Structure 1
């Protein structure tokens, strides 16, 4: 979704979120303004469609999440991420033949920039959907660019707004930290199952979440070893508290390829044409690494790639049945796919990498095995939060790390 609060600059770190809430990350920072269906020209399209089931209720957590996107600074940071924004623009232009003269829905449109890219690519009609108050500004942006006849801004949740026609293309910037944080992919799935015609296009089409063991002595020295000698005073008694404060929860920061101890492991492959809401509730994978060097092992890093491929064939289109029977859709020309990567060795993005640090490093030798299991689960308290359960072993010792990305 276009929108995020300020993440730390490269080289710094934050126990924060992709699309973090402003004001210290407090979900209840502001009162909740009720969603308005018709304001400042913002339209809700209704139809006589029969809804098979009532949409899930909009919780207070959802309202706080949507409210956090009303701040223009969130969208400014997203748009200024040139890797992210220019890759999306390139992907839209590369798929212009699928977009020109067609109907598009932009899920989580934010300020409407991706919707406008689609209109510039020749879309017949673009439904720009956003539950945040930023939809009001998006509508003004559309007017300012003389695109009101093409781009229709819908202020509301994907689960609630009505579109009375099938769409040919879904575009969305839904990725959160660790790819799945925020659960916004669920909104893309809902849009796909409600509106996408057989053989339609989804951008991005695939995503892969990776993890790898890392060494980061500088980070440990800055946060922990600092307390050993502070202006000549031994403040080491503070170190246990410092470890807890620095490493208890996931940390979003930028590392380099030099920090990574070995080749990454695929935690989850996401096929946007077939993935189900149930698959997002919990993801588990077993991993086994072999360190390429002798170094202190400080924790695990997570990052992701997304891929922009062409649509499925007409007879391989997503549907409620095909998503159950065809768990892995065949990619269209994968060698030609455009990729947006948040890997440590690639140009930095606002997503950076998500780090899970240990309180104390483990010394590993070259070729030493690191194995275990990781489980990522949507929080029962708030499905937009992610519970992380890590079991890992190396050198004959076993450990467990649990934390929450919130």
Structure 2
């Protein structure tokens, strides 16, 4: 509704419409016509929802991949809830890029307009204790022989769960900034960022957390002279300064955040746990790099390659989010 002036009387495409709720919001905002594109069979129910709300004259549900459907006009607006866990897991961003390049009019609106993926080191003693230390004494029985298997089962793959700001040991770093108006699909094949953290407290380092923000800005803010790109590997404090520069009225920014200190969302946060925690001192440096790449097995899956070192020791963590 905050973008109603850009939607009212316009032609809209909803990429991956699901139940059709965003398409209905656009129709209620005065859209002239909405193409609700959905590849899965939920499109059948979406069509029924549209009919039940007497919007069949405005919303056209198209059952098929956005790469395969036929639309005989350009659109003024593209909306999509394309974000997956860790932003890029099972993401539909490539489909949004396809729709943008094929159907969006010059100067058209994309919502959300940009996204930022963050990484930060975390401590989570309670989670580690529940998953691992439990086996040291099970009703008085020493079952510590289970520990290696327990660690593998609990921590081999990324875990989607909710943590709080108290679990985070430092300011986060930017892994990837996505400008939906300019990004190309090839950028999604592999993303690498280097980081360097200094622990704000003395605590065990149990792993790293990932989360993201998405913003809802118009095309002018997102594309003018590339002034607003947030560089991978910069800290949150650096990006906050850039965020302030990019808007005349920063307080009017529309942001959906999945950060630990914000209200929980269904995306939660994505945790990559170590098999063994590292005891950190305050101000101790943690540095390394992270690479996210599309799996050859399935392009919607994510291969995660994490390198980190602290206190003179170096480690590598390989994982697949599937």
Q: What range is the shorter-chain TM-score in?
A: over 0.9
Find out whether 1:345 has 2:253 as its counterpart: no
Residue of structure 1 equivalent to 2:270: 354
Contact 2:119 2:174 in 1 (8 A): yes
Contact 2:207 2:277 in 1 (8 A): yes
Partner residue of 2:162 out of 232, 254, 258: 254
Whole-angstrom CA distance in 1 between matches of 2:136 and 2:248: 56
Alignment RMSD (CA, Å): 1.9
Whole-angstrom CA distance in 2 between matches of 1:299 and 1:103: 45
Residue of structure 1 equivalent to 2:283: 367
Q: How far 1:312 moved relative to its partner?
A: 2.8
Q: Deviations over 1:340-367 (max 9, x none)?
A: 0000000000110000000000001000
Residue of structure 2 equivalent to 1:308: 216
Whole-angstrom CA distance in 1 between matches of 2:82 and 2:115: 11
**Normalising to structure 2: TM-score of the pair?**
0.92
Partner residue of 1:103 out of 11, 26, 48: 11
Structure 2 CA distance for partners of 1:342 and 1:352, relative to 1, 3 Å: same
Count the aligned residue pairs. 307
Whole-angstrom CA distance in 2 between matches of 1:183 and 1:297: 29
Partner residue of 1:144 out of 43, 52, 59: 52
Structure 2 CA distance for partners of 1:192 and 1:332, relative to 1, 3 Å: farther
Whole-angstrom CA distance in 2 between matches of 1:140 and 1:383: 31
Runs of 4+ aligned residues of structure 1 deviating over 6 Å after TM superposition are: none
For structure 1, list consecutive stretches of 5 or more residues without a partner in the other structure.
1-92
Matches within 5 A, 1:255-274: 255-274=163-182
Contact 1:288 1:371 in 2 (8 A): yes
Whole-angstrom CA distance in 1 between matches of 2:311 and 2:172: 20
Find out whether 1:160 has 2:68 as its counterpart: yes
Determine helix, strand or coil for the equivalent of 1:237. helix
Higher strand proportion:
2
Residue of structure 1 equivalent to 2:203: 295
Whole-angstrom CA distance in 2 between matches of 1:152 and 1:358: 48
Whole-angstrom CA distance in 2 between matches of 1:243 and 1:118: 47
Structure 2 CA distance for partners of 1:333 and 1:108, relative to 1, 3 Å: farther
Q: How far 1:183 moved relative to its partner?
A: 3.1
Determine helix, strand or coil for the equivalent of 1:359. strand
For structure 2, list consecutive stretches of 5 or more residues without a partner in the other structure.
231-244
